[in-house]
Amino acid sequence: MENLQTNPPDWSILMPVLPEKGARPQALYTEIRRLIEEGGLPPGAKLPTTRDLAARFSLSRGAAVAAYEMLVADGFAEARVGAGTYVARAVPNTGGRPVRARTRPPEPQGPLPGALGCTTADEATIRTFRTLLNRHLTQPSARHYHYGDPAGGEDLRVEIAAYLRAARGVRCEPDQVIMTSGTQQALDLVIRSLLRPGDAVWVEDPCYPMAKAALADAGLALTAVPVDAEGMDVAAVEALQPQARAAYVTPSHQYPLGVTLTMPRRLKLIDWARRNDAFIIEDDYDSELRFSGRPLTSLQGIDGEGRVIYVGTFSKTLMPGFRIGYMVVPRLLVGRILEVRRLTDRFPSTLFESALAEFLRDGHFSAHIKRARRRVRAARDGLIGVLENAGMAVTTPEQGLHMVVEAPPGRSDAEHVLLAAAHGFGLRALSPMYHGGAGRQGLVSGFSGFPAEVLTAAAARWVGAFREG
């Protein structure tokens, strides 16, 4: 039978119009859009992949991605999941003449720029994981062929314990580390193992909605503890509601306000837990992504009483799709939590654990974090520039992947969220995160998961929209 070969697509039509090496995404966007308007690229034509475009014409892949995002945002292209990017079948009618950039939002293809919980692809990291996973698939260990340890593989727990001791001052040994699929599973294991319906639990006010929902859904009696510039106000709540079985906190980078729990309050919280035979669930949210200085040592690291359950995840540092996190558990709770784990999902992915253990051991994770910090910081600074130029009050976050912005006057924060979404920018209202849903007006914006140019363009569309009234 004849061996059929598929010829690669011919993108020579783009050759005369592509900008010089290193050109900004706006220039690339302008030239491709002109080709579409003039009929050089007909409706429905498939555009080259961003990787192919970058390789063939000596562009950065980030420039190609950003240009395509802008084409989609303005209605000249369509991104089809798993299939690529195509010229839109209904191209905006511009008569072939240059026009002012449209403010019509992109058709939803996933989270909008500015949405929370997004991470940015890192080609070096993906390439390394591909190599590691291929190696373990080519020469699979016997451990992949039977049910594993409910705590997770020892090789990975050894590496995570070493990393947490060095980076976060956590006091732990590998036998205290339990692998999870993320923060929500860790919370579920704690609730099932330690708490009963009706138990009192302190939560921050405002609070991470998913954690609060998990605790409330378990029938726990939640006490909202005010958060100010120093974090959770332990003294205020202790005077009113001293008895509780547990407290949930995000001390390194409070969600959503972004403040850090001060050392005096950390010590007071640990002392409260000791005196009341209570436990602290420390969600070490965004601790690795700090842009200047070192963060305070974890709560767990200054706890000498075994009162802190430390929870972390690779969702923000690597990607949510990996579905891998961890918890460090006081020894008196290890057996109880592992028994619950056995009765739920048995054990985590051994294949991915093996690859991640090597990724940590060989120094790839540290290199990845350095690259991520640079990338995210650039996006943060670009977004702040757009917002400050519009006269909005923004506190520059020194850590994490989001910021709180004062809502511009004339609309509620919830109304601004709708307006931003209508123009392709993802925001979250601050006020519903307070107990009772009627707290401080504000907007929470993420600054990861998208090229800086795409993020700032989306923010500028929203700014333009509310300025126009």
| Residue 305, pLDDT above cutoff 50 | yes
Beta carbons of 397 and 78 less than 8 angstroms apart: no
**CA–CA distances in Å: residue 398 to residues 26, 238, 311, 316:** 29, 30, 21, 16
Chain center to CA of 419: 23
Residue-wise DSSP of 288-351: S-BSSSPPPPPTGGG-SSS-EEEEEESTTTT-GGG--EEEE--HHHHHHHHHHHHHHT-S--HH
| Residue 5, pLDDT above cutoff 60 | no
Strands, E assignment, 36-94: 77-80, 84-87
Each residue's pLDDT tens digit, 319-343: 888 899 999 999 999 999 999 999 9
| Residue 117, pLDDT above cutoff 90 | no
- Residue 39: the pLDDT is 76
Q: Across residues 157-173, what is the average pLDDT?
A: 94
| Residue 3, pLDDT above cutoff 70 | no
Phi, psi torsion values for 82, nearest 5 degrees: 80, -5
Where is pLDDT greater, at 97 or 413?
413
Q: Across residues 331-359, what is the average pLDDT?
A: 92
Strands, E assignment, 219-285: 221-228, 231-232, 246-249, 279-283
Q: Are strands 246-249 and 279-283 parallel, antiparallel or unpaired?
A: parallel
Beta carbons of 455 and 447 less than 8 angstroms apart: yes
**Beta partners for 178?**
327
Q: Which of 326, 325, 332, 273 is nearest to 302 (CA)?
A: 273
Q: Across residues 353-360, what is the average pLDDT?
A: 93
